A and B are shown apart, each in its own frame.
Chain A
Amino acid sequence: MSVIGRIAIPAAACAHCGATVAPVARYCCAGCEAAHGLVEGLGLDAFYRRRSAADGALRPDAAPPVPLAAAAVAEAPGLWRLDLMVSGLRCGACVWLVEQALAAEPDMLAVRAALTTRRLTLRWQGAQGRAEDFAVLLGRLGFRAVPFTPACLRAADDAETRSLTRALGIAAFGAMNVMLVSVAVWVGDDMGAETRGFMHWLAALIGLPTIAIAGLPFYRSALAALRARRTNMDVAISLGVLATAAMSLSEAWRNGPFTWFDGATTLLALLLAGRLLDRTARGRAGRAVAELLALQDGMVRRLAPDGRAEDVPTGAVRPGERILLAAGERLRLDAVLEDAPGLFDLAATTGESLPRPVALGAAVMAGAVNMGAPAVLRVTAAAAEGSLAATARLLEQAAAARGRFVTLADKAARLYVPTVLVVAAGTFLGWWFGAGLGWQAALVPAVAALIVTCPCGLAIAVPAVQVVTVGALFRRGVLVTSPTALERLAGIDHVVLDKTGTLTCGTPSLLPGDWTPQDLRAAAGLARGSRHPLARALLAACPEAPLRRDVVEHPGQGMAAGAARLGSARFCGVAAQGDTPVLWFTEGGSEPVAFHFADALRPDARAAVEALRSLGLTVEILSGDAPAAVARVAAEIGIEAWEGGAIPEAKRARIAELRVAGRHPLMVGDGINDAGALALAHAAVAAPEAQDLAQVAADLALRGEALLALPEAVRAARRAQALAQQNIAFSLAYNLVAVPAAVAGLVTPLGAAAVMASSSLAVILNALRAERPGRWMP
């Protein structure tokens, strides 16, 4: 390894994942040590010199890899193909490492990892079960791989983006080549009529197919709108482009002074570029959401009648079958508890922050997390009929209602299309009958008026602002997935916040107690080996604790290493009982100490609520948790309006009540119990780490930890709305000069091109102002 390579990693950083470690340590954990050994053993240590994501994201997880073999597809006998979504694939070096490490396997035929979509495609020959070995290898390197879900596929394999790209390529080709001919006509005053006619037909030869093919995305959308008896911006664009093509053809026919094919093709190219940028910006957010969802989409461990356990997809489990739920695992199906009473965290389904004891034979809803010992449950409903599916159906209905939202651009188009038609028709009739021009000559100023009114500036006015804003928000961890989300977010006047998982972290965190830092350090060392939520919370409080290698996990009871024990009261020989989450720790017969946990407020919750208020919004809490717990949080943050004990129906009723009262509520939530309310609200935001259904129901998703991103998103949406309005007003003002000139027959194709380009440029430059960084940024 070169000297430069050694310097690239700071002394106090883990040699594998780059997380900060104690000065003498080389690795942050045993997993990283193993991964580093593996990478060096494969001769791939160039990875460490080249990777750019060095922040602990690559730390190998203790989680067992998700079973993958079932997802492999046979392409031919003995020839397998597997598509995976790899979380943690963040830089070019990661792509290289994954590809090289897997290509070193002897039976591997092809490895291809895509950075944009996080998609890894493997093809190998031999046994299907080899997929598990590859998953283990990826896991040891620090990457988590899950099968590529249909949602991921929709987000990644985007046929519409491809067809837009193709249309843009064709439009750009056509525009440039038509321009070649048009410029000759513009400057060729001394050109003979015969040559000019040749040039016109040449322009038509290039221009007509271009307009026919590259304009298809606009024609389709315009037709759909007209069928629904509406007008939108695409109707205006299609009208302008097609009328220009027809008029140019007529001009070529009678060998007039100019054809306008250049204007029509350039307009298409510009608009397609804008549309493609818009789609790419939102597509990136959509892929990030699909990635978060795929990580939640797990397998279920089914118990066969003979007691054998096998991993199957959630959809394959039938009612009446028994499943095994590990400690810390989330239940994906509705079930009843079978073998012993258990302890479940119901935060996602009811909003309760304290885990609740569940009696033998009691029903547990999908979404609950097992906080106790591994539990055996009997499934009561298949995935397609369970409570999750019912909520999903509810969301589809709500999404349809939301689709009827009228955007600013559509409002402008509703005014614009009839006005412009009247102006064009008036111009045509005026020149034909009034001034006695031939109908073909009269067509020229009429269509010039159509195209010079700049559907271009108007059509780019809103998307340009959206592209810049969505991109800026993406970098700050706000994923905008709905095309109308920003406009709706700008219009909100009231905020409804969920408590558990939104204002609070949703996961237990360590409370201060009568333990010493030495106790914590020793206990966290034991906790390092466990996936139990409380053990992870303990480790989070002391991340630098050294790993104990001799730890033995007693499922449902605790961890033991030598004389040290960490776990339930009974496991540590304590008689104490309580209903709050607690871990006991004892070392070699010493007096046991208790670590108490609670669902803590997000550190920036108070600041976020204050920022929302400073934006002129009223705030209330709507939670399914016990009223006393909600009151405590409300008092701590300083919110007067709160409601506790709200079941999902009550949440939806509250949002509906607000809407009937004429308010525009923003709902912020994270759980399955919030999904209905999220879908019903004027705008909806999924809190960080939200459940998949909540993310689907929301228009925006917060990634990372910061709740402060919420007021910033509202501010950005309002700024975007103001800029979009400015842009539309500017485009319309432009027409006050351009339209009379066109109607008077003073505009040449060159003049129209200049007007079009300058108005588009002005609108785009104005849109760039949306990226001014917010005040909350670190």
Chain B
Amino acid sequence: MDALIALVPVALALGLLGLLGFLWALRSGQYEDLDGAGARILFDDTKPTERQPQ
């Protein structure tokens, strides 16, 4: 019983962390282009695709 009091919140917190990660990924548009994401990993970026406005 003592172990449960420590372990259950830990298990829940870890699960919640995963859920938050999923919600963040969803909000930042990582589920928008599943086909492209799979192909993109195979290519090297020879040039940066993001630049700051000067």
A92, B47: Cβ atoms under 8 Å?
no
A250 contacts B by Cβ under 8 Å: no
A706 CB to nearest B CB, Å: 25
A169 near B49 with CB under 8 A, answer: no
A50 to B40, CA, bound (A): 11
Determine whether the beta carbon of B42 is less than 8 Å from that of A50: yes
A318 within 8 A of B: no
On whether the beta carbons of A113 and B53 are closer than 8 Å, the reply is no
Separation in Å of the A120 CB from the closest CB of chain B?
Answer: 11
B11 partner residues in chain A, CB cutoff 8 A:
177, 180
B:20-54 near A, CB below 8 Å: 22-23, 26, 31-36, 38-40, 42-43, 45-54
CB < 8 Å: which of B19, B38, B42 contacts A170?
A: B19
B residues in contact with A170, CB < 8 Å: 19
**Smallest Cβ distance from B35 to chain A, in angstroms?**
4
Chain-B contact segment, one of A1-9, A99-107, A400-408, A544-552: A99-107
* Distance of A95 Cα from B37 Cα, bound (Å): 10
- Are B46 and A100 in contact, with the CB atoms below 8 A? yes
A173 touches B26 (CB 8 A): no
> Is A195 on the interface with B (CB-CB < 8 A)?
yes
Asked if A116 and B43 make an inter-chain contact with CB atoms under 8 angstroms apart, the answer reads no
| A362 CB–B CB distance under 8 Å | no
A110-B50 contact in complex given A91-B39, A95-B39, A169-B23, C-beta closer than 8 Å = yes
With A110-B49, A166-B23: A92-B43 Cβ-Cβ less than 8 Å = yes
Q: Give the residues in chain A near B16, CB-CB below 8 Å.
A: 173
Among candidates A79, A92, A162, residue contacting B53 with C-beta atoms closer than 8 Å: A79
> For the side of the interface on B, what is the size category?
20 to 34
B33-A115 in contact (CB<8A): yes
Alpha-carbon distance A169/B21, docked complex (angstroms): 10
Complex CA–CA separation, A104 to B22 (angstroms): 33
User: Is A741 among interface residues, defined by CB-CB distance under 8 A?
Assistant: no
Q: Is the CB of A116 within 8 A of B49?
A: no
Select one of A79, A99, A176, A206 contacting B49, CB under 8 A.
Answer: A99
Residues in chain B near residue A103, CB distance under 8 A = 47-49
- Is the Cβ of A114 less than 8 Å from the Cβ of B33? yes
Judged by a CB distance under 8 angstroms, whether B8 is at the interface is yes
Contact of B36 among A111, A116, A195, A202 (CB under 8 A): A116
Inside 8 A of B15's CB, which chain A residues have their CB? Answer: 173, 176-177
Query: Is the Cβ of B31 less than 8 Å from the Cβ of A109?
Result: no
Residue of A nearest to B50 (CB): A110
CB pair A116–B39 under 8 Å, yes or no, is: no
Docked complex: A194-236 residues within 8 A CB-CB of B: 195, 198, 202, 206
The secondary structure that dominates the A interface is helix
Taking CB atoms, residues of chain B closer than 8 Å to A46 are: 43
A100 partner, pick from B33, B35, B47, beta carbons under 8 A? B47
In the complex, which residue of chain A has the Cβ closest to the Cβ of B37? A115
Residues of chain B within 8 A (CB-CB) of A92 are: 36, 38-40, 42-43
Residue B6 is within 8 A (CB to CB) of chain A in the complex: no
Residue of B nearest to A79 (CB): B53
Known: A109-B53, A113-B36. A96 touches B22 (CB 8 A): no
For window 54-111 of A, CB contacts with B under 8 Å fall at: 79, 91-93, 95-96, 99-100, 103-104, 108-111
In the complex, A104 Cα to B36 Cα: how many Å? Answer: 20
B33:A117 contact, CB within 8 angstroms = yes
User: Taking the complex as formed, is A165 at the interface, i.e. its CB lies under 8 A from any CB of chain B?
Assistant: yes
* A116 engages B26 (CB within 8 Å): no
Rounded to whole angstroms, the CA-CA distance of A110 and B39 in the bound complex is 19
Count of residues in A whose CB is under 8 Å from the partner chain: 38
Question: Are B31 and A162 in contact, CB atoms less than 8 angstroms apart?
Answer: yes
- Say how far A77's CB is from chain B's closest CB, in angstroms: 11
Candidates A91, A104, A109; contact of B47 at CB < 8 Å: A104
Give A104-143 interface residues, CB cut-off 8 Å to B: 104, 108-117, 125
Given known A109-B51, A109-B53, contact A116–B33 (CB-CB < 8 A)? yes
**Do A114 and B32 have beta carbons less than 8 Å apart?**
yes
Give A381 Cβ to nearest chain B Cβ, in Å.
39
Closest CB-CB distance, B28 to chain A, in whole Å? 12
- Taking a contact as CB atoms under 8 Å apart, the answer to whether B46 and A43 are in contact is yes
Find the A residue at minimum CB distance from B51. Answer: A109
Q: Inside 8 A of B4's CB, which chain A residues have their CB?
A: 195, 198
Q: Who on chain A is nearest to B42 by CB?
A: A92
| Given the contacts A166-B23, A169-B22, A110 and B36 also touching, CB distance less than 8 Å | no
Contact B33 A162 (CB under 8 A): no
How long is the Cα–Cα vector from A95 to B1 in the complex, in angstroms?
55
Residue of B nearest to A91 (CB): B39
Residues 325-360 of A, flagged 1 when their CB comes within 8 A of B and 0 if not, give 000000000000000000000000000000000000
A152 CB to nearest chain B CB (Å): 14
Q: How distant is B36 from chain A, measured CB to nearest CB, in Å?
A: 3
Contacts of A44 in B (CB 8 A): 46
**Which residues on the B side are within 8 Å of A43 (C-beta)?**
46
B49 and A112 contacting across the interface, CB-CB below 8 Å: yes
Q: Hey, which chain B residues are within 8 Å of A99, CB to CB?
A: 49
Q: Is the CB of A165 within 8 A of B31?
A: yes
In the complex, chain B residues whose CB is within 8 Å of the CB of A177: 11-12, 15
Does the CB pair A108–B51 fall under 8 Å?
Answer: yes
Q: Which residues of B contact A117 (CB under 8 A)?
A: 32-33
A198 closest partner in B (C-beta): B4
Complex: how many Å from CA A103 to CA B51?
9
| Contact of A116 with B34 at beta-carbon distance under 8 Å, contacts A109-B50, A195-B1 already known | yes
CA distance A91 to B42 in the complex (A): 12
Q: Give B2 Cβ to nearest chain A Cβ, in Å.
A: 12
Q: Which of A44, A111, A165 has the most CB of B within 10 A?
A: A165
Chain B residues, CB < 8 A from A169: 19, 22-23, 26
Q: For A162, give the chain B residue with the smallest CB separation.
A: B26
Residues of chain A with a CB closer than 8 A to B33's CB:
114-117
Q: Which of A115, A162, A198 contacts B35 (CB 8 A)?
A: A115
Query: What is the bound-complex CA distance between A91 and B36, given in angstroms?
Result: 8
* A125-B53 CB under 8 A given contacts A100-B47, A162-B26, A162-B31: yes
List of B residues within 8 angstroms of A116 by Cβ: 32-36
**Which 8 A-B pairs give the minimum distances between C-beta atoms?**
A92-B39, A115-B36, A114-B33, A115-B35, A173-B19, A96-B43, A169-B22, A103-B49
Q: List 18 A-B contacts (CB under 8 A).
A: A93-B43, A95-B40, A100-B46, A100-B47, A103-B49, A109-B53, A110-B51, A112-B49, A113-B36, A115-B35, A115-B36, A116-B36, A125-B53, A162-B31, A165-B31, A169-B19, A173-B19, A177-B12
A-binding residues in B (CB < 8 A): 1, 4, 8, 11-12, 15-16, 18-19, 22-23, 26, 31-36, 38-40, 42-43, 45-54
Interface residues of A (CB under 8 A from B): 43-44, 46, 50, 79, 91-93, 95-96, 99-100, 103-104, 108-117, 125, 162, 165-166, 169-170, 173, 176-177, 180, 195, 198, 202, 206
Beyond the given pairs A166-B23, A166-B26, A180-B11, 18 more chain A to chain B contacts, judged by CB atoms under 8 angstroms and listed by A's residue number, are: A93-B39, A93-B43, A99-B49, A100-B49, A103-B48, A108-B51, A109-B51, A109-B52, A110-B50, A111-B49, A115-B35, A115-B36, A117-B32, A117-B33, A165-B26, A176-B15, A195-B1, A202-B8
